């Protein structure tokens, strides 16, 4: 599995994310994304688009919170396009950023937001594959939760897989949440079904 390609749109060299992008507008980025997803798929590599819903010109979420104040139309007319292109090309997974998409949910980072993941990525973009978080131990998440419950929020928001450098703490929080009924077992089962389907498709099991 390759946690790439970066589907963020950036044409400004001053953007934090620019150096990791194709440096092209939405249309050209979409073409690159479609080609890369297809290339990887043909060679048995499982690609992962990132960072939904689009990083834009926001600051580094490794070190602090990022509040994306851009209009919803900016996302639908630009940032979403490479993700739509990748989904049409059959990308199996998409990583969600910790940016706060204020036009959709001003209360939580995208990675912890049901409105962003379920409402936008699942329902509006019709993505049925694996949704995966960026590292939940990053500073942008710690600004919202500090007790290890970030993984619980992330799973209930619609993520299927969790990336974290604080695995032991978050594992215990998730297990407790399932046992306490805070996370429904069907939520876990749905995520596992998608993961198993992905592993079968790429002959990993």
Catalytic residues: 62, 134
| Whole-number Å distance between alpha carbons of 34 and 25 | 14
At 24, phi and psi to the nearest 5?
-115, 170
Nearest to 156 by CA among 116, 129, 123: 116
Q: List 130's β-bridge partners, or say none.
A: 93
C-beta of residue 86 within 8 angstroms of C-beta of residue 37: yes
C-beta of residue 162 within 8 angstroms of C-beta of residue 141: no
């Amino acid at each position: 599995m390759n946690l790439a390609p970066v589907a963020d749109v950036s044409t400004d060299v001053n953007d934090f994310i620019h150096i990791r992008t194709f440096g092209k507008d939405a249309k050209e980025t979409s073409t690159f994304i479609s080609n890369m997803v297809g290339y990887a798929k043909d060679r048995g590599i499982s690609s992962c688009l990132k960072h939904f819903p689009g990083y834009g010109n926001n600051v580094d979420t490794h070190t602090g919170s990022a509040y994306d104040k851009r209009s919803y139309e900016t996302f639908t007319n630009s940032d979403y396009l490479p993700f739509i292109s990748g989904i049409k090309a059959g990308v199996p997974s998409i990583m969600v950023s910790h940016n706060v998409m204020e036009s959709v949910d001003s209360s939580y980072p995208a990675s912890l937001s049901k409105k962003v993941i379920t409402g936008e990525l699942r329902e509006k973009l019709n993505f049925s594959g694996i949704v995966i978080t960026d590292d939940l131990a990053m500073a942008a998440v710690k600004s919202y939760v500090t007790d290890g419950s970030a993984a619980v929020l992330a799973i209930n928001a619609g993520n299927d897989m969790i990336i974290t450098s604080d695995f032991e703490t978050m594992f215990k929080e998730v297990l407790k949440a399932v046992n306490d009924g805070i996370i429904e077992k069907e939520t876990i089962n749905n995520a596992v079904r998608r993961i198993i389907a992905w592993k079968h498709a790429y002959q990993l099991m």
